[in-house]
Amino acid sequence: MEHADMRRKLSAYLENAVTDEEKAEIKSHLGSCGTCRGAIADLEMTVGYLKTLPDIEPPPWLTAKIMAKIREKSAPKMTLWRRLFFPLYIKLPIEAVALVFLCVTGLYLARTIGTQAPIITPSHIPQHTTEPPSAAAPTAPIPQGRIRSAQPGKPLPPPTVSAPVPQQPELEPEAAPERPRGEMPEPELRPADEGTMMEREAPLPTKEEKSAPMETLKRAKKGPARDELPLSGGVPAEKGEITLTVDDPAAAGGAIEEAVIRLGGRVNGHSYSEDSHLLIIRIAAQKVTTLLDRLERIGAVQERPHIPKGAVGTVDLTIRW
Amino acid sequence: MNDDRQNTPDEDSVLVASWRQGELAAFESLVEKYQKRMLNIAYRITGDYEDACEVAQDAFVAAYRGIESFRGAARFSTWLTSITLNLSRNRLQKVQAKRRNEAYSLDGTAHDEDCGPVRERPSSAPSALEQLEMRTIHEKLKECINALSVEFRETIVLRDMQDFSYGEICSILNVREGTVKSRLFRAREMVRECMKRAVGEV
């Protein structure tokens, strides 16, 4: 064995981890090689130091902590229900979907209520409650059919005198469940109470009766609120009617309403059905011309209202298309 | 060095058998028996007490979960040591990678108050000077061990500090005996050289 080989074996020789043959050979070499004797002495001392390195003590809580982890691991698994709903990676998407659903619902509601908002103004309603039904009947036939549809099979008596206004608060809540919530007849047609309205609507054409369920007539306030509105406020100086011909009747409603609102007008009611669209508005008399210009952009104005020049105050207009 | 070294493998086998049958107390006995040894192995490999505490915990948890893979061919302590060494190696690599990515700090290693090193006092009572000298040597020795690459470090730890036999070291490290002897020789030589530079002639 060469000197270098001897040096490599010294470590094992130190621990008697060499064969007897190697042991004898190394022993013989150490007798003649001072370098290897020094090397083995150094190795012995190094190993001695290594063995004297003190052990570190475990912290007192180590066993308890290990066993706590073990018990946690060996705990019975969660039920299917808990596994489905407790982990965050499942819970988060569910919550996200729920949030989106809430947002969409909220947006839908906000938009729905937003379109009704202009109607929820009290000033126009009381005026109509005092009007005689016979005067208003010819001007707005569309809502009548719809309202009548609430009791389609009921024979209607001939027109009678409208009930007095103060009876409305008692009568309206009873009549309310019979018709869709939020519906409102055209202001001019609306009688003092449901009973008289039904009576007056009897002679309407059959065609309107058939189409009535499809119509949607919206109003802002229910009956009892009408009595709270001022009777004298906001009486228009003039009334008129505008007839339009539009390419897309269904889409025109929004544009017309927007034009009215942009001109400071107010939508008092609307009735959109498949074959007939009607919008009742109130607008400043000075703005009527501008409104007609705007409506010309939406469709062809067939019939214009007869508003005298220099008229002041507000005008109630019925727009049909 | 370690009192648990005197326990016979048969005792471990009985405890392992009970543990396999679901007796948590048997596993707890094994934890109490080997936690110090595993902690020391992890400490010598990682060089950090806090890391060693974590590694020791992880090792026992891994052993608990992997009991099915323990066939009983090797001793339980050998199997547990190989788990601890693997985890220590992984921890060391992570720490070294982290240090490479971080700016060098002049502050010393911060120790958790809960996990500060608890040193075992020697049974004999040397003089204060001797204690100081020995402490200095131990500090230097620790630095020299930490300077070794992991394969030399683990060989010297297993043989010179934990007194595993060559055969056990072969089983733990999954290498041949010749490799163990060679690594041990080189590791000891490197430590000797390091100590010479650190405190003069050893």
Q: For A45-80, write each residue's pLDDT tens digit.
A: 889 988 888 899 999 999 999 999 988 877 666 666
Interface of B with A in 70-129 (CB under 8 A): 114-115, 117-122
Contacts of A61 in chain B (CB under 8 A): 114
Report residue B21 as tokens: 């049958």
Q: C-alpha distances in angstroms, A205 versus A138, A145, A210, A273?
A: 12, 8, 9, 16
B27 touches chain A (CB under 8 A): yes
Parallel, antiparallel, or unpaired for β A238-245 and A314-320? Answer: parallel
Closest A-chain CA to B142: A53
A245 touches chain B (CB under 8 A): no
B62 touches chain A (CB under 8 A): no
Q: How far is B28 from chain A (nearest CA, A)?
A: 7
Q: Do B39 and A42 touch (CB under 8 A)?
A: no
If pLDDT is split at 50, 70 and 90, which confidence band does A247 have? confident
Q: How far is A56 from chain B (nearest CA, A)?
A: 5
φ, ψ for residue A218, nearest 5 deg: -110, 150
What ipTM does this complex have? 0.78
pLDDT on residue A117? 54
Cβ contact B76:B27 at 8 Å: no
Which of A13, A46, A51, A73 to mutate to probe the B interface, most B CBs <10 Å?
A46
A48 touches chain B (CB under 8 A): no
The mean per-residue pLDDT over the stretch A246-268 comes to: 86
pLDDT on residue A147? 42
A10 touches chain B (CB under 8 A): yes
Closest A-chain CA to B167: A17
φ, ψ for residue B151, nearest 5 deg: -70, -35
Q: Do A43 and B65 touch (CB under 8 A)?
A: no
pLDDT of A80-136, one tens digit each? 666 666 677 777 888 899 999 999 999 999 988 866 655 554 554 444 444 444 444
Q: Do B192 and A70 touch (CB under 8 A)?
A: no
Per-position pLDDT tens, chain B of length 202 = 444 455 555 788 889 888 888 888 999 999 999 999 999 999 999 999 999 999 999 999 999 988 888 877 788 999 999 999 999 999 999 988 888 777 555 555 444 445 555 555 445 566 666 767 778 888 888 999 999 999 999 999 999 999 999 999 999 999 999 999 999 999 999 998 898 887 765 4
Angle at A79 between CA A78 and CA A82, to 5 degrees: 80
Contacts of B57 in chain A (CB under 8 A): 62, 65-66, 69
Secondary structure (3-state) at A5:
helix
Cβ contact A188:A128 at 8 Å: yes
Parallel, antiparallel, or unpaired for β A216-218 and A56-57? Answer: unpaired
Q: Do B160 and A55 touch (CB under 8 A)?
A: no
B40 touches chain A (CB under 8 A): yes
| Mean confidence (pLDDT) of chain A | 69
Minimum mean pLDDT among A15-19, A126-130, A272-276, B54-58: which range? Answer: A126-130
A92 touches chain B (CB under 8 A): no
Minimum mean pLDDT among A207-216, A234-243, A258-267: which range? Answer: A207-216
pLDDT on residue B72? 76
For A240-254, give the DSSP string.
EEEEEE-S-HHHHHH
Q: Do A55 and B120 touch (CB under 8 A)?
A: yes
Q: Do A43 and B202 touch (CB under 8 A)?
A: no
Contacts of A50 in chain B (CB under 8 A): 141, 145, 156, 160-161, 188, 191
Residue A157 pLDDT > 50, yes or no? no
Answering whether pTM is above 0.80, one says no
pLDDT on residue B104? 54
B10 touches chain A (CB under 8 A): no
If pLDDT is split at 50, 70 and 90, which confidence band does A229 have? very low
B49 touches chain A (CB under 8 A): yes
B27 vs A176, which has greater pLDDT?
A: B27
Which of B4, B41, B43, B53 to mutate to probe the A interface, most A CBs <10 Å?
B53
pLDDT on residue A135? 44
pLDDT on residue B70? 85
Q: How far is A30 from chain B (nearest CA, A)?
A: 17
If pLDDT is split at 50, 70 and 90, which confidence band does A142 have? very low
The angle that helices A34-52 and B177-199 make with each other, rounded to 10 degrees, is 90
Helix (H) or strand (E) holding A315: strand A314-320
If pLDDT is split at 50, 70 and 90, which confidence band does A277 have? confident
Say how far apart CA A121 and CA A130 lie, in whole Å: 18
B29 touches chain A (CB under 8 A): no
Question: Closest partner residue to A62 among B1, B2, B53, by Cβ?
Answer: B53
pLDDT on residue A58? 93
Secondary structure (3-state) at B76:
helix
Cβ contact B20:A26 at 8 Å: no
Residue A151 pLDDT > 50, yes or no? no
The mean per-residue pLDDT over the stretch A274-299 comes to: 86
φ, ψ for residue B94, nearest 5 deg: -65, -45
pLDDT on residue B156? 93
- What is the interface size between A and B, counted as CB pairs within 8 Å? 117
Q: Do A8 and B156 touch (CB under 8 A)?
A: no
